[in-house]
């Protein structure tokens, strides 16, 4: 698509000077649900842009009226013709850190300032705002506690809410404090808010507004984000969004990993799926008969990997189950760990698959068949006779 242009330097002079800065920390996007995407460029600039999806064109809008250029911790959301912006990395002496852009008048106004808390630290990397059930919420990053606020649009005021708990377990081990840091993110399905803490942690939380009693909210720990290797955890560059009934997570941290979470539908035990509801299967496979959507219930998943016969002489059949659509790798290694053959390495939909393995090019001996998906890994010893 059309590249976001270089903007003018702030303040604008005559003639204007070009500010040759690319998007960096503090860059953010939001969508008006119709035709326009709005963007901050971050990287210490005050630039703010609109993009027409229909025309594939960028327009530089009024500079954000922040005291200091936008950096990490900046977040924007759209609601009812307004863009709400949390300004990250402002000086703690600056009162204004929340702004509102009117898409009709194309102007910025100052919103209610977010309190910095007892530690008097600005909103830094990991901070974000999210809209849930018509209310704006803000989660603070870069502090010594995970402050959380709700915003009343009518009165233009913020109210402190229950803080995201800081005592946590990391990779199954108890750790006293896990704070929201770089890579922290929030998303909402308009009923529940989901949050990651970033900072190289794999913990995952949800916040339920309007719990009992009324006007309160409750944080609850969810299943930890799967961790494939040391860097397979949300950190710099992590982002989260809600779409089509799922929470989508880009992990960042110099990994290409992209994950999907099914709210209250999955139950994974020791890397294997124990149950999948009919909603999950229907949404992923989306089978149709005579134009009518068909749902089916799977109460249990077959063994992830099976080889029959084993040992074998000429040929064997490999059978494996894909519980969640995504990248699937099936590879054959010899007894020393050297890769002999890649049988599959690509995207597969939910289902059970079979393939034949011939011993024609294999010496007699012991081999290992390794099967990996985004949520599980299995390995079987094969014997060629």
Q: Give the number of other CB atoms < 10 A from CB of residue 148.
A: 21
CA distances from 58 to 38, 40, 66, 301 (A): 9, 12, 22, 48
CA distances from 295 to 59, 105, 370 (A): 45, 48, 32
Domain-located, residue 2: no
* 237 & 309 share domain: no
pLDDT at 291: 37
Domain-located, residue 282: no
* 248 & 321 share domain: no
pLDDT at 216: 63
Tokens coding 121:
């630290």
Domain-located, residue 107: yes
Q: What are phi and psi of 283, to 5 degrees?
A: -75, -30
* 90 & 216 share domain: yes
Burial 200-237 (b: 16+ CB within 10 A, else e): bbbbbbbbebeeeeeeebebeeeebbbbeeeeebbbbe
Domain-located, residue 362: yes
The span from the CA of 36 to the CA of 52, in Å, is: 5
* 321 & 261 share domain: no
Rounded (to 5) percent helix, strand, coil in the chain: 0, 45, 55
The span from the CA of 49 to the CA of 59, in Å, is: 6
Q: What is the CATH number of the domain that holds 136?
A: 2.120.10.80
The span from the CA of 27 to the CA of 256, in Å, is: 19
Domain-located, residue 43: yes
- Using one digit for the tens of pLDDT, what is the confidence trace for 66-113? 989 999 999 999 999 999 999 998 988 877 899 999 999 999 999 988
DSSP 8-state symbol, 335: T
The answer to whether 154 and 142 have CB atoms below 8 angstroms apart is no
Domain-located, residue 313: yes
- Using one digit for the tens of pLDDT, what is the confidence trace for 161-205? 999 998 777 766 666 689 999 999 999 988 899 999 999 999 999
* 349 & 226 share domain: no
pTM over 0.85: no
Question: Rounded mean pLDDT of the chain?
Answer: 84
* 199 & 339 share domain: no
Q: Which of 224, 247, 271 is the endpoint of a domain?
A: 271
Query: Is residue 29 predicted with pLDDT exceeding 60?
Result: yes
* 58 & 185 share domain: yes
pLDDT at 30: 95
- Using one digit for the tens of pLDDT, what is the confidence trace for 202-237? 999 999 887 655 556 789 888 889 888 888 999 999
* 223 & 311 share domain: no
* 92 & 188 share domain: yes
Q: How far is CA 30 from the centre of its chain?
A: 15
Q: What is the CATH number of the domain that holds 325?
A: 2.60.40.1930
Nearest Cα neighbor of 203 from 222, 175, 185, 177 is: 222
Domain-located, residue 367: yes
Total domain count, the chain: 2
Range of the domain at 61: 7-271
Tokens coding 70:
């936008």
Query: Is residue 290 predicted with pLDDT exceeding 70?
Result: no
Domain-located, residue 293: no
* 217 & 317 share domain: no
* 123 & 210 share domain: yes
* 27 & 151 share domain: yes
Partners of 131 in the β-ladder: 136
């Amino acid at each position: 698509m059309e590249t976001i242009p270089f903007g003018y330097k702030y303040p604008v002079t005559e003639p204007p000077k070009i500010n040759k800065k690319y998007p960096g920390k503090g860059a953010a996007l939001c969508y008006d649900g119709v035709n326009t995407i709005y963007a901050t460029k971050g990287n210490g600039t005050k630039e703010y842009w609109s993009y027409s999806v229909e025309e594939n064109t960028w327009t530089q809008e009024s500079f954000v009226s922040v005291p200091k250029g936008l950096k990490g911790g900046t977040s924007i959301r759209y609601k009812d013709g307004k863009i709400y912006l949390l300004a990250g990395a402002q000086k703690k002496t600056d009162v204004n850190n929340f702004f509102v852009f009117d898409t009709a008048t194309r102007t910025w106004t100052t919103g209610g300032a977010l309190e910095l808390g007892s530690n008097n630290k600005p909103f830094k990397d990991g901070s974000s705002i999210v809209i849930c059930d018509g209310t704006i919420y803000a989660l603070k990053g870069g502090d010594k506690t995970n402050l959380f606020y709700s915003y009343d649009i009518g009165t233009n005021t913020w109210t402190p809410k229950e803080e995201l708990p800081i005592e946590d377990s990391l990779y199954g081990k108890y750790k006293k404090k896990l704070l929201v840091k770089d890579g922290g993110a929030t998303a909402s399905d308009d009923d529940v808010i989901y949050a990651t803490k970033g900072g190289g942690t794999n913990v995952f939380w949800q916040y339920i507004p309007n719990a009992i009693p009324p006007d309160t909210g409750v944080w609850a720990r969810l299943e930890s984000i799967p961790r494939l290797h040391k860097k397979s955890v949300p950190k710099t560059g992590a982002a989260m969004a809600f779409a089509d009934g799922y929470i989508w997570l880009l992990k960042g941290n110099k990994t290409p990993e992209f994950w999907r979470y099914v709210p209250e539908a999955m139950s994974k035990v020791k890397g294997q799926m124990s149950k999948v509801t009919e909603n999950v299967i229907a949404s992923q496979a989306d089978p149709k008969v005579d134009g009518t959507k068909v749902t089916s219930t799977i109460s249990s998943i077959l063994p992830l990997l099976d080889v029959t016969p084993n040992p074998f002489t000429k040929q064997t059949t490999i059978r494996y189950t894909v519980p969640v659509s995504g990248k699937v790798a099936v590879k054959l290694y010899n007894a020393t760990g050297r890769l002999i053959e890649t049988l599959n390495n690509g995207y597969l939909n939910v289902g059970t698959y079979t393939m034949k393995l011939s011993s024609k090019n294999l010496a007699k001996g012991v081999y290992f068949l390794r099967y990996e998906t985004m949520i599980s890994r299995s390995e079987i010893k094969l014997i060629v006779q």
